[in-house]
Structure 1
Amino acid sequence: MGEQMKLGAFLMAGGHHIAAWRHPSAVADAGTDIGHFIALARIAEAAKFDMIFVEDAAAIREKDPNLASQAARSTMFEPLSLLAALAVNTARIGLVATASTTYNDPYGLARQFAAIDSLSGGRAGWNLVTSASELEAANFVSSGLRPHAQRYERAEEFAAAALALWDSVGDHAHVLDGETFADAAALTPVAHQGVHFSVDGILESRRSAQGRPIMVQAGASDAGKNLAARTADVVFTAAQTMQEAQDYYADLKGRMARFGRQPADIKILPGVSPIVASSESEARAKYEALQELIPDEVGVGLLASYLSIKDLSQYPLDGPLPEMPPTDGIQSRQQLIVDLGRRENLSIRQLARHFAGARGHWQLVGTPAQIADELEARFRGGAADGFNVMAAHFPDGLTDFTELVVPELRRRGLFRDEYEGATLRENLGLKAPFTPREES
C-alpha cells in the first residue's frame, strides 16, 4: 500500500464557524463541558485520526463586550489541563495543545508536556506559538506586544532549551534495580545560558514511550518557516489554493536540508473545514444555514482581529478592503486575507462572511466523493501530507466527516484502517527524536 495521509481533528468548543454556537444542534456551554470534549476525542479516535489539537489564546478573543457576547470562542478550557483529562479518557490518539513561548518559561512548560507525554503513554505534542495578539500581551506585559522578530528570537531559544530538557534524561536512565535508581551516565544537565533564559538542571521526569513530545508549529513567515524546518515534526498551515499549498510545501521541505533533515521528517497538515452531506445541494444548504447566523459586526470584528487593525467598520462594508499597514501580528494570515479579497474581488462584508467560516482556512462543501477528490488532489499533488480537520460545528461536523468522508478515503487506500503503533510518533511514521542543529 502506498503512502497514506495523516489526519488531525482540530477541536474548538462548538465548532470552527464563528456562529457554530447558534446552530440548533450546538452543545450548550461546549467550551467548558468536559464530557463534550471527551466525546469528540473518542469520535476522532474511533475513526483512527492521528491526533486531536487544541489551540489557545490567553485572553478573551474579542475585547468589545458586544462582540464577545456573540462569540463562543470567548469561553474555553486551558489546553494543557484539558489534555490531561483527555489522556485518561483515550488510548491511542495523539494529544496536541498550543502553548506560547512569549508567556511561559522553558523549564515549566517542558515539565508540563513531559508529564502529559508520560501519563498518555507517549501521545503528547506541543504546538509552539509566539503569540501575536495585543489582548494576550495586555494580560502579561505592560509594554505591549513584542515585535515579530523579537518574538521569534525568543522562540528559537525557548525551543532549544525545551528540547535539551526533554533530552536531559536518557531512554534507560532510571534503572530501578533495588540498588541504583538512575544511571548517572544517562543524565545530561542542560546548562543553557542564553539571551532570554537560563536553565541549568535535569528534567525530573522519566523519558516517555515516544522519547519526547512531538513538536508542532504553524508559522508561515520566513522566521517561522526556518524555526519549523529546524525543530518541527508537524506543521499546521492555511492555504486557499492548490498553488499556495504547493508553494508552501516545497518551500518548507526545501529548507530542511540546511538543518540536517529529510523532507519526510516533517508532516505538513493544512487546515480544512469540510461541510459534507449525501448530496451537493444538501451540503450547500448546511453551509448557507450557518452563514445566515453570522451578525455583520461579529464577522467584521473577527476579520479586523486577524488583519491586526483596530476597526474596519469605519470603511464601507460593501466596498473593498483598504490597504493594510505593516503588522507585528500574524503577518502570513494578513497576507492570505488580502490576497483572497483581491483574487475574488470581495467586499469587506463578503470577505468577513467568508473568513468567519474557517478563519482563512480552506473550506470544502460537497459530497463525500467530492471532498475526498479535493483532499486526494492536494495529498498527491505535493501540497499536503494530510489535513487538520476543522469541523464547522460539533459534534455533527466531525461525525459527518468520520462517517462519510473517512470511509471514502479508506476505499481509495488513502487512510489507515488501524493504528500502526501505540505512540503519536509511531502513528505519524516519524523517526526517533532528532537533535536540531544550526544552519550549515
Structure 2
Amino acid sequence: MPEKHIHLAAFMNAGPMATVGWRHAAARDDFLDAAYYTDTARLLEEALFDLIFVPDSLAVPRSLGGRFDPAVRYGAGSPRLDPIPAISLMAGATRHIGLAATTSTGYNEPYNVARSYATLDHLTGGRAGWNVVTSFQDAEAQNFGFEALPPREQRYARAEEFLEATARLWDSWSDAAVVHDKVSGQYGRPDEVRAVDFQGEYVKVQGPLGVPRPPQGYPVIVQAGASPSGRDFAARWADVIFCSHESIESAIEFYSDVKALAAKYGRDPDHLKILPAAAVVVGDSKEDAQARHHAFEDLVEPEAGLSRLAYHINVDLTKFDLDGPLPEMEVAGVMGHYREVLEYARTRNLTIRELGQWYGARTEGYLVGSASDIADGMEEWIDRGAADGFMVVATHVPAAFADFASQVVPELQRRGRFRTEYTGKTLRDHLGLPRPEREEWKNRAASTLRKATQP
C-alpha cells in the first residue's frame, strides 16, 4: 500500500504575527506593504504548498478587563487587515497555490459573499477557498450593532442557512449557461440560469447571482468548528477542517469522529481533509531548534498572553484569581482552543497567570527539532490517523516559512510524502477533492438531509 501524501497549508495573518511573532529579529515589519504578501506567496508556491490560509477578526479585542489596551500594546489579535485584498495580491503574484480567506456568516449576507468568492475563483483559475466562521467575540458583535455575541446554536443556525443560500447562488448558473457567441449576439442561455428565492429564519435572497458558476463549482470550504455543532456542520459542508490539538490522542479522536460523521452523511471521508495546526521550529539539530524556541518564548509579556487567550475564548480572565487554576466553564469563543488549554494546564498544574506566559508564545501543535525530527513527527500523525496534512504556522514571517521550505519540504519529498511539482490546476486538484455537481448543496444542507431520512 503506498504511503499517504501529506497536504500542507500555510497560516498567515493579514497583519503581524500576533502577540510575539512580530518581535522576532527575523520578522519583516512591512505588513502594510504589498510586497510582504507577494514575496511570501511566491516563497510558499516555490515550496509547492497546497494553499495559503488567512484568518480574520472584525474587532480589536476587548476581552481582557473590557479594555483594548493590551491588544494594541502587545499586538494580541490586532491589527488585522481585510484578508480579501491580501489574497488578491497574492493571487496576482502566483499561478498555482490555493488562497483561502476568512469571512464571517454573522456579519455579511450570502449574496455579497457568493459574489466575492465566485469572482476570486474565476480570476485565480479555480484557486479560491472560503474559511467559514460564525465569529466568536462580543467585540465583533458590538461593531455591527449588537450588544453581545449570539448563542452558539443560533450562530450555527444562521451559518447553516447562509451556506445553503450561498451554494444555491453559485449553482444559479449552470456550467452551460455562458455561450458568448459574437456572431449570433447571444451571450447566455436564460433557461440555464435560475432564481434562488431562498427564505429562511435568518437570511433571504432572491438571486440569481451576477457571476457565472465558479471554476471549482464551489470554492473550497474551510471550517474550524470543534464543538458538537461545529463538528456536525463541518462534516456536512467542509472540504478542509483546520483544527488544533495538544496531544496526538485528542487529534485521533477528533479525526475519527468527524470522518465518521462525514460517512454518516453519505460523503466519502477522504473528501474531507483534516489539517491540524503545526508550528514548526526547525534547527540544525533538536538542541538548536529548542534553543530557538526558548528564545522565542523569552519575548513574551504575560499580559500579552492573557489578552490573547481571553480573546480566543471570549472570557474576561481578570474575573478569576490569576494565581489559581483555569476553571471548567462554558465559553462563547473558540471551544477547541479552550479544551486544549484546559488539558495543557491540568496536565502541568499551571495557574492562569502561568498560562498567559505560555499562551503568549503558543502556536498550536509545536514541532521542534531538525528537519528529520519534524518529518518523523508529521509522518506519525498521518500514519496513526490524526491528520491528512498540516496547517503550518510560522512563528515569524517569512523567515520561519523559508526555514520550513528549505529544510523540511526536501526531507518530506525524499521520503515520498510530498509532491515534487503541481500536477493539477485548481485548489481542489491539489487537495484531491472532486468538483461539486450542480445542486450538491442538497447533499449537505441539514434541512434537506432531515427530509431525506424522514419516514
TM-score range, shorter chain: over 0.9
Instruction: For 2:255 and 2:169, locate their aligned partners in 1 and report how far apart those are by CA, in whole Å.
Output: 30
Which of these residues, 407, 411, 416, is aligned with residue 408 of structure 1?
411
Structure 2: state its 5+ residue gaps. Answer: 444-448
In structure 1, give the amino acid aligned to 2:159. Answer: A
C-alpha separation in 1, matches of 2:189 and 2:371: 54
Q: Give the conservation status (yes or no) of the 8 Å contact 1:277–1:368.
A: yes
Q: 1:313 to 1:373 in 2, by over 3 A?
A: farther
Alpha carbons 2:310, 2:316 under 8 Å: kept: yes
Q: CA RMSD in A?
A: 1.7
- Equivalent residue number for residue 325 of structure 2: 320
Aligned position for 2:50: 50
Report which stretch shifted further, 200-209 or 418-427.
Answer: 200-209
Matched, 1:278 2:284: yes
Inter-partner Cα distance in structure 1 for 2:232 and 2:332: 18
Q: From 302, 311, 314, give the equivalent of 2:308.
A: 302
1:12 aligns with 2:6: no
Q: Could you say if the C-alpha distance between residues 212 and 249 of structure 1 is closer, same or farther in structure 2, counting changes exceeding 3 Å?
A: same
CA distance in 2, matches of 1:354, 1:409: 30
Q: What is the SS of the residue equivalent to 2:355?
A: helix
Given the two structures, how large is their TM-score scaled by the length of structure 2? Answer: 0.92
Contact in 1 for aligned 2:14/2:55 (Cα 8 Å) = no
How far the C-alpha of 1:185 sits from its partner, in A, is 3.2
Note the C-alpha offset of 1:313: 7.6
Is 1:343 aligned to residue 344 of structure 2? Answer: no
Cα distance in 1 for residues equivalent to 2:378 and 2:61 = 31
Larger displacement relative to structure 2 (79-88 or 405-414):
79-88
Matched, 1:363 2:366: yes
Relative distance call for 1:219 and 1:269 in structure 2 (3 A) is: same
SS in 2 for 1:128: strand
Q: 2:173 aligns with which of 151, 169, 174?
A: 169
Matched position secondary structure for 1:235: strand
Equivalent-residue separation in structure 2 for 1:28 and 1:160 (angstroms) = 40
Q: Kindly provide the amino acid, as one letter, of the partner of residue 143 in structure 1.
A: E
The aligned residue for residue 241 of structure 1 is 247
1:267 aligned partner, one-letter code: K
Pick from 113, 122, 125: which aligns with 2:117? 113
- 1:140-159 alignment, distance < 5 Å: 140-159=144-163
Instruction: Report the Cα distance in structure 2 between the residues aligned to 1:210 and 1:302, rounded to whole angstroms.
Output: 36
Deviations 1:375-403 (A, max 9, x none): 10001111100000001111111001111
Task: Give TM-score, length-normalised by structure 1.
Answer: 0.95
SS for the counterpart of 2:103 is strand
Q: Is the counterpart of residue 104 in structure 1 residue 105 in structure 2?
A: no
Task: Please tell me the residue identity of whatever aligns with 2:243.
Answer: T
Q: How far apart in 2 are the matches of 1:177 and 1:14? A: 45
Q: Is the 8 A contact 2:18 2:78 kept in 1?
A: no
Q: 1:146 to 1:313 in 2, by over 3 A?
A: closer
Secondary structure (helix, strand or coil) at the match of 2:368 reads strand
| Residues 305 and 361 in structure 2, CA contact (< 8 A), matched pair in contact too | no
Task: Answer yes or no: is the 8 Å Cα contact 1:124–1:214 preserved in 2.
Answer: yes
Contact persistence 1:6–1:386 (CA under 8 A):
yes
Shift of 1:347: 2.7
Aligned partner of 1:39 in structure 2 is: 39
SS of residue paired to 1:416: coil
CA separation of 1:343/1:89 partners in 2, compared to 1, >3 Å: closer, same or farther?
same
Deviation (angstroms), 1:253 = 0.5
Matches within 5 A, 1:260-275: 260-275=266-281
8 Å CA contact retained: 1:217, 1:235? yes
Q: Does 1:431 align with 2:437?
A: no
Are the aligned partners of 1:48 and 1:417 in contact in 2 as well (CA < 8 Å)?
yes
SS of aligned partner of 2:274: strand
Match of 1:81 among 85, 103, 108: 85
Q: What is the one-letter code of the residue matched to 1:35?
A: A
State the 1:309 CA deviation. Answer: 1.9
Cα offset, 1:343, TM superposition: 1.8
Aligned residue number for residue 395 of structure 1: 398
**CA gap 1:112/1:315 in 2 versus in 1, 3 angstroms:** same
Paired with 2:319 and 2:34, the residues of 1 have a C-alpha distance of: 37
The answer (yes or no) to whether the contact 2:70–2:307 under 8 Å persists in 1 is no
Question: Which consecutive residues of structure 1, in runs of 5 or more, have no partner in the other structure?
Answer: none
Q: CA deviation at 1:168?
A: 1.1
- Structure 1 CA distance, aligned partners of 2:304 and 2:38? 29
Is the Cα–Cα contact under 8 Å of residues 16 and 29 in structure 2 kept in the other structure?
A: no
Match of 1:339, SS state, is helix
